[in-house]
Amino acid sequence: MVKSPAEIELIKESSLLVSKTLAELANHIKPGVTPLFLDKLAEEFIRDHGAVPGFKGYGDFPNTLCFSINSAVVHGIPNDTVVKEDDVLSIDCGTIMNEFYGDQAFTFAMAGVEMEVIKLLQVTRKSLSLGIEQAIVGKRVGDIGFAIQQYCEKEHGYGVVRELVGHGLGKSLHEDPEVPNYGRKGQGTKLLENMVLAIEPMINLGTRDVVSAQDGWTILTKDGRVSAHYEHDIVVKKEKAEILTDFGVIDQAIKKNNYLQEIVE
């Protein structure tokens, strides 16, 4: 579970490429575009930068992006559905570069999304930061989950998904330890220096309960309300975790796109 400095640098390269890919997608998101068009764009961008899509073919997943709209929590399959001006788009992307994975998710809000939903996205993104603050040497996985759960569930009344969790990251997409978005302080796997984790709160506007769609992949909120998903790859350190992915490049692209709303913590 602990990575060498050289391995961390390779993971960082792959992780930053995911961030750049999501930023490239942000340049093209607008009403009328299709998830399948964005999926093809992402695959071309990743391959043009010397990597391969991390999700395509993983467990027989058919596409480069997990593209989850509105009540879809995660693992949505890109299709020809037209994006509307009031949609919420959760896009999860992975790359493999130099044998190591990068993995990041970001939820985009179209210009017509209501403030109730914008608040959900803001809280979810903030909860990710609060979870990352706990990712330091000597803490435990439960401390990360507790911070996320406390903020989203106790303070804001949102549903924290239980069935899907964060994870370790390296030459495999999903390594130990699992990193739930709920938990108890001081419980779970002890965090060691240079562990690489993908922390990814999945938070629902309504109930925490989810159901599986008929396609065998897409996970939906049981009550049909909107869900949000943000993810960073991080390295556990003694005083402050190092974040390998980058929301900054995505935010910059959003600012230039009149069809998207900025999401600030």
Query: In this predicted model, what pLDDT tens digit does every residue of 40-83 receive, in sequence order?
Result: 999 999 999 999 999 999 999 999 999 999 999 999 999 999 99
Per the prediction, the chain carries an average pLDDT of: 98
Query: In this predicted model, what pLDDT tens digit does every residue of 202-261 receive, in sequence order?
Result: 999 999 999 999 999 999 999 999 999 999 999 999 999 999 999 999 999 999 999 999
Q: Could you tell me the pLDDT band of residue 92, with boundaries at 50, 70 and 90? A: very high
The pair of three-digit structure tokens given for residue 135, joined into one six-digit string: 């990712």
The pair of three-digit structure tokens given for residue 76, joined into one six-digit string: 């949505």
Query: How many angstroms separate the CA atoms of 158 and 131, rounded?
Result: 16
Query: How many angstroms separate the CA atoms of 205 and 226, rounded?
Result: 6
1 has a pLDDT exceeding 90: no
At 89 the pLDDT is 98
The predicted model gives 4-16 an average pLDDT of: 98
At 21 the pLDDT is 98
Closest residue by Cα to residue 3 from 169, 131, 188: 169
Give the dihedral of Cα atoms 27, 76, 188, 137; nearest 10 deg.
Answer: -20
149 has a pLDDT exceeding 90: yes
Query: How many angstroms separate the CA atoms of 73 and 204, rounded?
Result: 8
- φ, ψ dihedrals at 128, nearest 5°: -60, -45
The proportion of the chain whose per-residue pLDDT surpasses 90, expressed as a percent, equals 99
CA end-to-end span of the chain, whole Å?
30
Could you give the domains of the chain? 5-261 (3.90.230.10)
At 265 the pLDDT is 83
The pair of three-digit structure tokens given for residue 196, joined into one six-digit string: 């690489």
The proportion of the chain whose per-residue pLDDT surpasses 70, expressed as a percent, equals 100
Residue in this structure with the two tokens 């330890």, named with its chain if needed: 177
**In this structure, which amino acid lies at residue 129?**
S
